[in-house]
Structures are given as C-alpha cells and as structure tokens.
Amino acid sequence: MFSGQHRRLALIATAGVLALGAIIYFIATTQRDSTKEIAFSDFLRLVESGGVAEVMFADQAIDATLRSGAHVMTVPPVGYVAANPTLVPDLVRRQIRIVVRHPAEPGAYNLGALALAAAFLGLVGFTLYRVTSGRIPSLENKPRLASQDTAPITFKDVAGVDEAKDEVKEIVDFLKAPERFAAIGGRIPKGVLLVGPPGTGKTLLARSMAGEAGVPFLLSSGADFVEMYAGVGASRVRKLFREASRHKSCIIFIDELDAVGRRRGGNSLSHEEREQTLNQLLVEMDGFATRQGIVVVAATNRPDILDPALLRPGRVDRQVMVGCPDLKGREAILGVHCRKVALDGTVELRAIARGTPGLSGADLANLVNEAALLAARAGREKVTTADLEAARDKVLMGVERRSLALTEAERVNCAYHEAGHAVVAALLPHADPLHKVTIIPRGRALGVTMQLPEQDRHTHTKDYLQAQIAILMGGRVAEELFMNHMTSGASNDIERATDIAQKMVCELGMSSLGPMAFRHGSEDRPFTLSEDSARRVDSEVREIVMHGYHVAHDLLGSNREAVRALAAQLLEVESLDGSEILTILQSNGAPVQNGATAG
Ligand code: NHX
Ligand code: ZN
C-alpha cells in the first residue's frame, strides 16, 4: 500500500539506482576497452617482428604487452595453443615474458567488477527496503488464531448490541451442528457483514460467536491483504481459507473489509493488486461448501463503498448493524466492564450512562479503566461516582494539562471566551443544557465549554443547529465585547460553526436554497456543483454563520453583568458545573432558558 508521496520517493530512488548502475557499467566497460582487441594473425605478425614484450594466457584470450608499452588482446582459434606446441618455445626463444593466469582465480580487474556488482545489488536492496519502510512482507503471514488459553468470549461478554446478537444467533446455531442444517436443506449464509462505526464491538461480537459455537476463530484484517507486491494479497487470502478448511467448522473474521473490498474499476495506482486480492476472496467464498461449517464474518464502517459482487447472495449476503449503544446499552456495557472493578456501593451506572451519550463501547471501556486508575492513584479501595465522572470528562474533553503555563492575559481571555459560550448556551431555549465550563487546559484546548443532551439525540432540529452555531460564536464575540480584541484561539469554534452551516445548506436542506443536496463530484458520483450553485451555497453558509454571530452579539451585549460575573468566578475556581453556572447567571439578571445537565 503506497501513498503518492511514497510512490514518488520510490520512483526517485529507482531512477537514482539505475543511473548509478549505468555509470558503473560505463566505467567497467571503458576499462575493458582500453585494451585493444586485434586479429590473431596481426598478433602473430607482432610476435615475429619482435614487437611483443610479454604475453599473458588468460582463459580463452591472450593479452599482450607491446614493447611500446601498449596493451592488446586477441583470441586464438579454439585449440590453437594446444595444437601448436612450438608456440611457447618460440616465445621463450624471442625472450618474451610468459604469464599464465590461473583459470579459477579472477584477476584484479574481475575482482573490482565483482565488488562493484555486489555494491550495486546491495544498494538496490537497501533502497527497496527503505522505500517500503522496512516492511518486506512475508508470504508466510499466517492468520492469527485467537488464543485458546484464555477463556472464550461468549454473548455474556457482549452488551449493548442486543439486536445484532439476535441476528447472529442463527449462525451460531448452524456452527454448532452444521450437518443437521445441511440435512434439512436450508441455505445458511456463508458470510455476515457487521456494519458500524469504530469501537462498537464488531470484533468482540464476531469473537463471541466463535466462543458460543465453540469453534476456532481466525482473525485477519483487510489491511493485511493489501500489499504493493503483486499476488501477495491473493496468496494470503488463499492461505487463510486453506487454514480454515483444516477445521471442521470455524469463523473467518475479516476486519476492515473495505480495505480490500472496495468497488473495482477505480483508477488508483494500487487497484490492480487489490482487484486481484478481491477476486481471490470471491473465488474462495464461492469455493467452499456451506456444509463445511465455515462462516465468514466481515466488519466495515463503509458498506457503501464495497464492491457489489461481495454482497451478492452466497457471499457476504447478510448485513448486521452494530451501532453506538443507547442509554440502556451503555448501562449494560458499563456493567460488563465494571465486573472486574471494585465499585463503591453508591455508584449508579444508570446515571453515568445518562451522561455519556454518543460514546461507543470502546469509549466506555476506556472510561471505566480511567476511573479505576484515578481511584488507585488516589489510594482508594473502591471506584466512586466522582472517579467515574472525572474519567468521563477526561474521555469526553481530553486530558487535563494543569502544568501548561498561561499568561494572566491568556487566562483572562480564556475565562471571557468560555463565559461567552456558556451564557449564549444558557440563554437559548433550543440548546443542550450546560454540563461544565473550565479554563483548565485540556487536550488541545486552553478552555472548554461542554453541554450534554438530556436524552440521546438521533436527529437535530434546525433551531438546535442554529443555537449551536450561536454558542460557538459566543467565544469570539465575548473576546471582542469584553477584551476589545480577537485571538487565534477561536479557530476551532469558527471551523465547527462553518461545518454545521455548510451541512445545513448542502445536505440538510435548511436554507433558502431548498431541500437539495449540493456536493462536489467524485469518482463514482460524477455530479458536480455548478459555479452558480457554489456561489449561492457560499453566501447561504455565510448568512447562517453571521446570523449566529449576531444572536450571540445581542445576547452577550445585553447580559454583560452575567458574563463578567461568570468570567470572574472561572478565574477564581477554574471549573464550574452546569448548576453552578446557572446560579451565577440568574443572580446577575440573565434570563436563563434551560436547566443544567446533572453531574
Ligand atoms: C494555540 N491553542 O494554538 C493555543 C495553544 C480561545 C481560550 N496557540 O474554543 O484553546 O488557541 O471554547 C480541538 C479542540 C485548535 C481542536 C480545540 C484546535 C483548539 C478552545 C486552538 C480556547 N474553547 N484554542 C475553545 C483554544 C488555542 C485550538 C482545536 C482546539 C481559547 C480555545 C486553541
Ligand atoms: Zn471557544
């Protein structure tokens, strides 16, 4: 798999090596040419006229040094030397020095050429090694067989994806007794595609299918099959299926199927190799009979870009959605991960689950682990609600960087910037409630204003999106109104606001351009935006962002006391939760429109 950059590098390196080779060849051949080849009869005449000082019998040629110091060489007719026993005495008589080179011993000249050749080969090898970043693929790359020594993962260990579990149960039943299914004559899917965003437990679900059925689990990734070397990917696919056929029944798991299963016929440089690999995969899938008890489970988060041939009946013809967990799912997932953790009796996982909308199973696992680490670091025996909440903030907002030294001016600017976000958020009825505001640097941000929805949101209203843009503008507006300057710190806010506005215009039909999709063309979607449309889209996006800016400007301009009080309190205590913010705003006369998210 080569990026364009790598390709260019490889090209330059190859050209360099070739040029060097040409130079070496040139030097080597001109050296040989400095010895002039003459006709054998001329050589004999030279010997007779006494012009030769020395002859050297090489393998098949005769090198001669002339009295003038020049070198010539000639090739005698085959067997001439042996058939003319008088030649050597003749030379001796004429006082010509005779040298015979041992045939097995390469002369100094050959040694030099050999060394050059070796150096050249070494350079080629080294360059190849360098441009492949040291990744010389081994053809013997075996699929990883899930370790047998650890207890198998079963459905008990997989929480929050109940529908997906129900859907794959049928396949588990088949794997337990493939003969019985074959006897009835039912068609069992050969392949299942698990579709969902990263971290939602696709691999875990596949593993648990193997665990439930008690069959081996062959783990591989589409990325393993994509190699720059022609045929390597296809050969690995063949190996994987050969390995699978050694088992009575088993699950072949292919993660990131999109890496190899992309629609064919693209114009990318590596597509030929990938196509070959994909074809091999299709051949193998068609090749094994279902009664063998082999089921392919593949995972992707981009089913739309897969080659349709992969999804045809008899191949990966079943799709199971594995989405981000809902409130109940998150509670169950937290429960699974907390089994291994000493929890304080007062912890309510339901409350933690409520405060973590949008987090995936992997995020939640991370959260529980962080909480356990926090508790351990603080010397506590049990994980408390406070640990879990601190871990949640860490996972959602990034790691605190208390050691980052800000100047006082930066801190003040940060306090007003965040207060600006917070006040706009509190005053807009359609916004998510405030969760927390902090001027402790976290991750890449110097300060953070965080809202949390009261319930999981699956869709957003236009009012909500407009409020979100106004809140994002609140930071910059506060800098302008209270600090009389602008800083570069608002860059991320501006980017996010613009992104939302662009989506509203181009995808969501929430502008005066109407319910149309405006998009640039791509490889498989030749549709392009007309210049006129592009201009109108830009002006609509600007209109929407500026509307948010004006809303923020109005709200902050008419609630200056509330902003000042909040900023002052932030400078004092650095972090405030939602209800603390609302209290400060209300006691400073701000017409607060929504509550705070607990926690
Ligand atoms: C800098 N960082 O780049 C410094 C170190 C205005 C008080 N010179 O808007 O921290 O200025 O409401 C993801 C998340 C860039 C990507 C945050 C990329 C922040 C954050 C720039 C607060 N809070 N800006 C904010 C902030 C900055 C930045 C990001 C990102 C500041 C602001 C960063
Ligand atoms: Zn901001």
For the chain, domains (ranges, CATH) are: 4-106 (3.30.720.210), 144-320 (3.40.50.300), 327-397 (1.10.8.60), 408-587 (1.20.58.760)
pLDDT at 208 over 90: yes
pTM exceeds 0.85, yes or no: no
pLDDT on residue 259: 86
In what helix (H) or strand (E) does residue 320 lie, and over which residues does it extend? strand 318-321
410 in ligand 1 pocket by Cβ < 6 Å?
A: no
Nearest to 152 by CA among 123, 133, 129, 175: 175
Which residue owns the Cα nearest ligand 1 atom 6?
489
pLDDT on residue 223: 84
> What is the crossing angle of helices 361-377 and 385-397, to 10°?
130
Q: Mean pLDDT of all residues in the chain?
A: 84
The number of beta carbons lying within 10 Å of the beta carbon of residue 306 is: 21
Strand extents, DSSP E, 441-487: 448-451
449 in ligand 1 pocket by Cβ < 6 Å?
A: yes
> What is the crossing angle of helices 108-131 and 4-33, to 10°?
170
Q: Which residue has the tokens 């007062």?
A: 346
pLDDT at 279 over 80: yes
Which residue owns the Cα nearest ligand 1 atom 19?
445
Q: Which of 410, 446, 468, 479 to mutate to test the pocket of ligand 1 (most atoms within 8 A of CB)?
A: 446
DSSP per-residue codes, 517-542: ------SS------HHHHHHHHHHHH
Distances (CA, A) of 544 to 469, 505, 531, 532: 8, 9, 20, 19
Strands ordered across the beta sheet of 434-438:
448-451, 434-438, 575-577
Contact between 326 and 456 (Cβ < 8 Å): yes
Q: Which residues contact 240 (CB under 8 A, 6 or more apart)?
A: 143, 218, 220, 252, 284
Q: Is 227 helix (H, G, I), strand (E, B) or coil?
A: coil
Q: Which residues surround ligand 2, an ion (CB under 5 A)?
A: 475, 493
pLDDT at 1 over 50: no
412 in ligand 1 pocket by Cβ < 6 Å?
A: no
Task: Please give the share of the chain, as a percent, with pLDDT higher than 70.
Answer: 84
pLDDT at 290 over 60: no
CA–CA gap between residue 298 and residue 418 (Å, rounded): 44
576 in ligand 1 pocket by Cβ < 6 Å?
A: no
Top-confidence residue, 291 or 512 = 512
Beta bridge partners of 320: 194
Contact between 252 and 159 (Cβ < 8 Å): no
Q: pLDDT band at 140, cuts 50/70/90?
A: very low
Q: Which residues contact 405 (CB under 8 A, 6 or more apart)?
A: none
Q: Is 244 helix (H, G, I), strand (E, B) or coil?
A: helix
> What is the crossing angle of helices 560-573 and 531-557, to 10°?
80
Q: pLDDT band at 189, cuts 50/70/90?
A: confident
Give me the mean pLDDT over the 83-107 stretch: 73
Helices (H), ranges, 34-69: 40-48
451 in ligand 1 pocket by Cβ < 6 Å?
A: no
pLDDT on residue 447: 96
475 in ligand 1 pocket by Cβ < 6 Å?
A: yes
Amino acid at 198: P
Ligand in nearest proximity to the CA of 443: 1
Which residue owns the Cα nearest ligand 1 atom 7?
414
pLDDT at 142 over 60: no
Which residue owns the Cα nearest ligand 1 atom 32?
489
pLDDT on residue 38: 83
Handedness of CA 427, 432, 433, 435 (dihedral sign): negative
Q: Which range, 120-129, 359-368, 450-459, 494-503, is most confident?
A: 494-503
Beta bridge partners of 298: 193, 254
Exposed, middle or buried by CB within 10 Å (0-12, 13-18, 19+), for 284? buried
How many angstroms is it from 297 CA to the middle of ligand 2? 43
* DSSP collapsed to 3 states, 306-340: ECHHHHCCCCCCEEEECCCCCHHHHHHHHHHHHCC
Ligand in nearest proximity to the CA of 442: 1
- Digit-coded pLDDT (tens) for 26-67: 555 554 445 778 888 887 888 888 888 888 888 778 888 877
pLDDT at 352 over 70: yes
Distance of CA 570 to the CA centre of its chain: 39
CA–CA gap between residue 460 and residue 12 (Å, rounded): 51
Q: pLDDT band at 252, cuts 50/70/90?
A: very high
Q: How far apart are the first and last CA of the chain?
A: 46
- Digit-coded pLDDT (tens) for 298-347: 999 998 888 888 888 888 888 999 988 999 999 999 999 999 899 998 99
Known active-site residue 418: yes
Quote the tokens at residue 9.
Answer: 């590098």
493 in ligand 1 pocket by Cβ < 6 Å?
A: yes
Catalytic residue chosen out of the listed positions 418, 531, 561, 574: 418
Give me the mean pLDDT over the 580-589 stretch: 95
Ligand in nearest proximity to the CA of 552: 2
Q: pLDDT band at 134, cuts 50/70/90?
A: very low
Top-confidence residue, 307 or 265 = 307
Task: Please give the share of the chain, as a percent, with pLDDT higher than 90.
Answer: 44
pLDDT at 2 over 50: no
Contact between 534 and 581 (Cβ < 8 Å): no
Q: Which residues contact 496 (CB under 8 A, 6 or more apart)?
A: 472
Handedness of CA 27, 28, 30, 31 (dihedral sign): positive
- Nearest-Å Rg of the Cα atoms of the chain is 38
479 in ligand 1 pocket by Cβ < 6 Å?
A: no
Q: Which of 435, 448, 492 to mutate to test the pocket of ligand 1 (most atoms within 8 A of CB)?
A: 492
